[in-house]
């Protein structure tokens, strides 16, 4: 970390000694005030619910400027990566810090695509779930269970173990997601085919059957690859912080990633695109396009509980840079499949138009976000709504691994231990039951 010439001074109105706090500079973005010695010197903690003003680590992986609408992976703008690179190139970048050359790309793809099969016993584990179980419930169990199959890569402090577990997780997540899907619809599992691309292989495992040959559609494969790339990492969000916190105890990588999967399940996080499609279905049941005005009126009413899902973002105070790319992909997919006149998609486009033009939404910068468009794309491809978050987990796995490995390699890392402001009862004695 680079020290700043500026220092912060903390003073107290009760006459307690003041304290100088060092400040460190990032390569871009806000400086940070180092409070690590605060409790030792003052006996006080800071109070920051949600950690909105707290840097929990230093990182070289992903940078977000919410005001500018900027997202960088290792310094590269997401707009350039999504157009010029595929998902596995992006994975290499996140894991190793630089984009691969041709030989490195070929070698990395070969390693990943030859680890796509899962242990055959995983299917028996899978069959213990109910057929109607939510895919994220299944994925949480399957990813955690991987640690029981791969004992040779569970030592988080061993660099070789971290390397092989990273390759295994990236390679096997598409297989597990497709198995979870096939199980819920009662179809046979489709084994991976390593001569296909990463996204093409996933599409085949999802939609092929033993009855006939399956040829992936290039437009849909490209759309799926872009979804993966746009969701590969997103700085210190809730699930990434969960993976880091879980991994800080020294648990194995599979368990740490399973914790990230569980966190991602929430509708405020990875479940946002699922919530968006559910919202569109609700409007469709209300009467479709004819009822959009009534729905928007409810959204604007502070006394109603109606929320507009898929618009705005907690971090981006401007347009989500991923949304523009996903919007282009959305229209490519709709054109390819001839779905522009589908009632639900027409409804989505009408809602998009209102949000981009209505002064209420423009003033609040409630632009359509990546979840709005990725949900539409996935539904068009034929992916059921409950599976959306599992695909998000598949894409985000590489980001979680990169963040986890970075933390383990940081000499300053410690087991996570947040503090609290206690406002409960002070010490008291237990009375006999007759006196309570």
Residue 297 to residue 318: CA distance in whole angstroms: 23
Catalytic entry in 86, 225, 320, 371: 371
Three-state DSSP at 38 gives helix
CA distances from 395 to 119, 224, 272, 378 (A): 21, 10, 15, 14
**DSSP-derived secondary structure for 273-329:** HHHHHHHHHHHHHHTGGGGHHHHHHHHH-TTS----TTB--SS-SS--HHHHHHHHH
Three-state DSSP at 33 gives strand
Catalytic (active site) residue 269 = no
Catalytic entry in 86, 225, 313, 320: 313
Residue 184 to residue 344: CA distance in whole angstroms: 24
Q: Give the contacts of 97 (CB within 8 A, at least 6 positions apart).
A: 60, 74
Contact 23, 10 (CB under 8 A): no
DSSP state of 16: P
- Give 2's strand partners: 25
Catalytic (active site) residue 313 = yes
> Which residues are identified as catalytic?
313, 371
């Amino acid at each position: 970390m680079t020290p700043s010439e500026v220092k912060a001074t903390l003073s107290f109105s009760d006459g307690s000694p003041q304290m100088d706090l060092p400040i460190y500079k990032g390569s871009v973005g806000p400086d940070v005030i180092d409070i690590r010695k605060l409790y030792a010197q003052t006996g006080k903690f800071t109070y920051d619910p949600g950690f909105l003003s707290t840097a929990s680590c230093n990182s070289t992986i992903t940078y977000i400027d919410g005001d500018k609408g900027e997202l960088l992976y290792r310094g590269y703008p997401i707009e350039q990566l999504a157009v010029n690179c595929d998902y596995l190139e992006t994975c290499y970048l996140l894991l190793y810090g630089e984009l691969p050359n041709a030989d490195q790309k070929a070698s990395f793809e070969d390693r990943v695509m030859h680890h796509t099969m899962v242990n055959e016993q995983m299917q028996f584990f899978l069959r213990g779930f109910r057929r109607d179980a939510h895919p994220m419930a299944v994925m949480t169990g399957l990813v955690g269970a991987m640690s029981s199959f791969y004992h040779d890569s569970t030592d988080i402090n061993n660099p070789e173990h971290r390397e092989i577990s990273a390759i295994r997780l990236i390679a096997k997540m598409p297989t597990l997601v497709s198995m979870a899907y096939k199980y819920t619809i009662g179809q046979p599992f489709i084994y991976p085919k390593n001569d296909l691309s990463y996204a093409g292989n996933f599409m085949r495992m999802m939609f092929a059957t033993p009855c006939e040959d399956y040829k992936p559609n290039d437009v849909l494969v490209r759309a799926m690859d872009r979804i993966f790339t746009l969701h590969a990492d997103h700085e210190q969000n809730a699930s990434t912080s969960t993976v880091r916190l879980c991994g800080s105890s020294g648990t194995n990588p599979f368990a740490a990633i399973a914790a990230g999967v569980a966190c991602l399940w929430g509708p405020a996080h990875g479940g946002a695109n699922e919530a968006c499609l559910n919202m569109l279905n609700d409007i469709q049941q209300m009467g479709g396009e004819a009822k959009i005005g009534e729905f928007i009126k409810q959204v604007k009413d502070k006394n109603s509980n109606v929320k507009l899902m898929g618009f705005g973002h907690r971090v981006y105070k401007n347009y989500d840079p991923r949304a523009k790319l996903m919007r282009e992909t959305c229209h490519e997919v709709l054109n390819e499949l001839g779905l522009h006149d589908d009632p639900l998609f027409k409804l989505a486009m009408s809602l998009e138009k209102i949000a981009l033009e209505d002064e209420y939404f423009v003033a609040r910068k409630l632009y359509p976000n990546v979840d709005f468009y990725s949900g539409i794309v996935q539904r068009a491809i034929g992916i059921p709504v409950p599976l959306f978050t599992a695909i998000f987990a598949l894409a985000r796995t590489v980001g979680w691994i990169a963040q986890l490995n970075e933390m383990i390699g940081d000499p300053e890392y410690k087991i996570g231990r947040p503090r609290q402001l206690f406002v409960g009862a002070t010490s008291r004695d237990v009375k006999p039951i007759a006196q309570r």
